[in-house]
């Protein structure tokens, strides 16, 4: 039996962030609930309530739900319409496939003035003569019954003959209850749904044994007899069927657990023996331990599967060993050198899932720094760096006799490599002065 608890309601109220005091809609279908309780105390603002496909026998504890507009109780064991008078805003009521035979119980819904739609298909009362006429005449506010619109003409004709129709419905109800009572008396005053439909006055020893003492063949025969035996469609039968399904489901689960245990025996995890830590890799994760690149630290790479969440991986770094636990599988590696756990770092790649542990050693070795003579990129492109002289050095030859006519500002390299660098000779042209030219000092010179 499943009870309506606060935890169950909060679980079904995920769309409302788990808040139940302001909940307006909740679905509790297919939860094996047998009784409506606590909802009217915790969810006063509820407007829509789904309770279909359960084992509820009675409509109760919904009177305080003043805002309730839609109540779904299809596929339950309800036998009577009751306790809905105080649901003032009820607009839709679904009672499909229940066991309502007392059709006159719908008269309690006359005070629900906003009730517009109602479903009662699959109930014993739906097979009564003049069932539809009685419902639409008794509840004039209903505009749609069993998915079919109610016309004004149909309602007027039903209301005119309501008295005779009600008498017919009452007689049909009594006749149904009498037949049900005879059926119970024919079964020995009880409903039997275990093996056959008759009372087990001469039951065999196998039938009286519990299932735990029966062989698999006897259990199979008992289950086949249960499902093949005819039975009345009653609330008791539905509960017995549900109980049988639960038992078979539990038996299958136990069998699966036994098979799983036999096929895959539990492996003992040995992490320590005689006070010494052991190497262990249960999951067979590839790993790489590098302690040669840097003398002052140890680097460990473990290839953990990418699908494993980082939150589910537990890493424990100790001075002499490293332990990693994920999915109840252990990875332990004993280190050659003692390390410093408080200075260690752990990183994991989001692309590959590889876990990288960098662990400084306890004994630090002083290593001289290597001098890097190569200039940096900035130095190479800086004007402060002096360029080295080229290997090819040229010498300047000057003729002493022509020294006065040489221009030292225009020194070029000769095209021939065999010849030295020479200075070009500058030829100075003499000025030609006209005979008519007069050098007047007051006149500025022309440029």
Listed residue (302, 295, 305) closest to 316, CA to CA? 302
Question: What percent of the chain is modeled with pLDDT above 70?
Answer: 73
* Mean pLDDT score, 176-196: 64
Identify the pLDDT of residue 354: 92
Listed residue (5, 12, 47, 55) closest to 30, CA to CA? 55
Identify the pLDDT of residue 199: 39
pTM score of the predicted model: 0.53
For 224, the enclosing helix (H) or strand (E) is helix 216-228
Identify the pLDDT of residue 52: 93
Structure tokens at 245: 């399904």
Identify the pLDDT of residue 190: 43
**SS3 at position 142:** coil
Identify the pLDDT of residue 239: 82
CA gap 336, 140 in Å, rounded: 90
The residues pairing with 333 across neighbouring beta strands, listed in sequence order, are 322
Q: Strand locations in 104-172, DSSP E?
A: 117-119, 144-145, 148-149
Identify the pLDDT of residue 245: 82
Q: Chain-centre distance of CA 354, in angstroms?
A: 24
Identify the pLDDT of residue 398: 61
Query: pLDDT tier at 97 (50, 70, 90 boundaries)?
Result: very high
Question: CB–CB of 317/308 below 8 Å?
Answer: no
pLDDT exceeds cutoff 90 at 49: yes
Identify the pLDDT of residue 125: 93
Question: CB–CB of 94/74 below 8 Å?
Answer: yes
Query: Mean pLDDT of all residues in the chain?
Result: 80
CA gap 152, 157 in Å, rounded: 9
Strand 92-94 relative to strand 117-119: parallel, antiparallel, unpaired?
Answer: parallel
Identify the pLDDT of residue 191: 46
CA gap 11, 28 in Å, rounded: 10
* Mean pLDDT score, 424-430: 52
pLDDT exceeds cutoff 90 at 143: yes
Query: pLDDT tier at 416 (50, 70, 90 boundaries)?
Result: low
User: In sequence order, which residues have a C-beta less than 8 Å from that of residue 135 and are 6 or more positions away?
Assistant: 103, 106, 118, 120, 142, 145
Which letter does DSSP use for residue 432 in this model?
Answer: P
Question: Cα–Cα distances in Å, from 306 out to 189, 266, 271, 310, 447?
Answer: 64, 25, 25, 9, 85
pLDDT exceeds cutoff 90 at 156: yes
pLDDT exceeds cutoff 90 at 50: yes
pLDDT exceeds cutoff 80 at 445: no
pLDDT exceeds cutoff 50 at 144: yes
CA gap 116, 34 in Å, rounded: 28
The residues pairing with 25 across neighbouring beta strands, listed in sequence order, are 48
pLDDT exceeds cutoff 90 at 407: no
Identify the pLDDT of residue 171: 95
More confident residue, 152 or 420: 152
Least confident piece of the model among 194-198, 208-212, 240-244? 194-198
Question: CB–CB of 37/4 below 8 Å?
Answer: yes
**SS3 at position 27:** strand
Maximum CA extent, the chain: 166
CA gap 314, 302 in Å, rounded: 13
| Domains of the chain from N-terminus onward | 6-178 (3.80.10.10), 190-263 (no CATH), 276-360 (2.60.40.790), 396-425 (no CATH)
More confident residue, 221 or 116: 116
pLDDT exceeds cutoff 60 at 226: yes
Tokens 């509960």 label which residue? 239
Identify the pLDDT of residue 195: 35
Identify the pLDDT of residue 155: 93
């Amino acid at each position: 039996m499943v009870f309506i608890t606060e935890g169950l309601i909060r679980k079904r109220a995920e769309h409302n962030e788990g808040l139940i005091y302001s909940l307006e809609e909740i679905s509790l279908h297919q939860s094996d609930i047998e009784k409506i309780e606590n909802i009217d105390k915790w969810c006063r603002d509820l407007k829509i309530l789904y309770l279909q496909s359960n084992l509820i026998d009675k409509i109760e504890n919904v009177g305080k739900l003043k805002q309730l507009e839609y109540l779904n109780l299809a596929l339950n064991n309800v036998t009577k319409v009751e306790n809905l008078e105080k649901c003032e805003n009820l607009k839709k009521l679904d009672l499909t496939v229940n066991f309502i035979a007392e059709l006159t119980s719908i008269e309690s819904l006359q005070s629900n003035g906003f009730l517009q739609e109602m479903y009662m298909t699959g109930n014993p009362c739906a097979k009564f003569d003049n069932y539809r006429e009685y419902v639409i005449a008794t509840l004039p506010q209903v505009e749609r019954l069993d998915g079919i619109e109610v016309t004004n003409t149909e309602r007027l004709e039903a209301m005119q003959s309501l008295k005779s129709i009600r008498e017919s419905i009452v007689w049909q109800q009594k006749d149904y209850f009498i037949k049900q009572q005879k059926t119970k008396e024919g079964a020995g005053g009880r409903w039997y749904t275990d093996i056959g439909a008759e009372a087990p006055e001469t039951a065999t020893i196998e039938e009286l044994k519990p299932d735990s003492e029966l062989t698999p063949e006897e259990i199979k025969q008992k289950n086949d007899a249960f499902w093949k035996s005819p039975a009345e469609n009653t609330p008791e039968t539905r509960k017995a069927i549900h109980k049988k399904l639960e038992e078979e489901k539990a038996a299958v689960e136990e069998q699966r657990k036994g098979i799983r245990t036999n096929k895959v025996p539990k492996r003992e995890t040995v992490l320590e023996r005689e006070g010494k830590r052991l190497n262990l890799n249960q999951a067979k994760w590839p790993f790489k331990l590098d302690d040669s690149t840097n003398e002052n630290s140890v680097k460990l790479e473990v290839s953990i599967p990418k699908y494993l969440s980082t939150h589910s991986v537990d890493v424990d770094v100790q001075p002499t060993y490293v332990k990693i636990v994920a999915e109840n599988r252990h990875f332990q590696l004993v280190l050659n050198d003692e390390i410093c756990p408080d200075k260690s770092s752990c990183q994991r790649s989001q692309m590959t899932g590889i876990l990288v542990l960098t662990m400084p050693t306890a004994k630090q070795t002083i290593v001289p720094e290597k001098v890097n003579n190569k200039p940096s990129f900035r130095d190479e492109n800086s004007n402060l760096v002096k360029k080295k002289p080229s290997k090819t050095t040229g010498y300047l030859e000057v003729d002493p006799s022509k020294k006065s006519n040489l221009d030292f500002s225009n020194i070029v390299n000769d095209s021939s490599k065999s010849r030295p660098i020479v200075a070009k000779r500058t030829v100075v042209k003499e000025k030609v002065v006209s005979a008519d030219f007069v050098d007047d000092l007051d006149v500025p010179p022309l440029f």
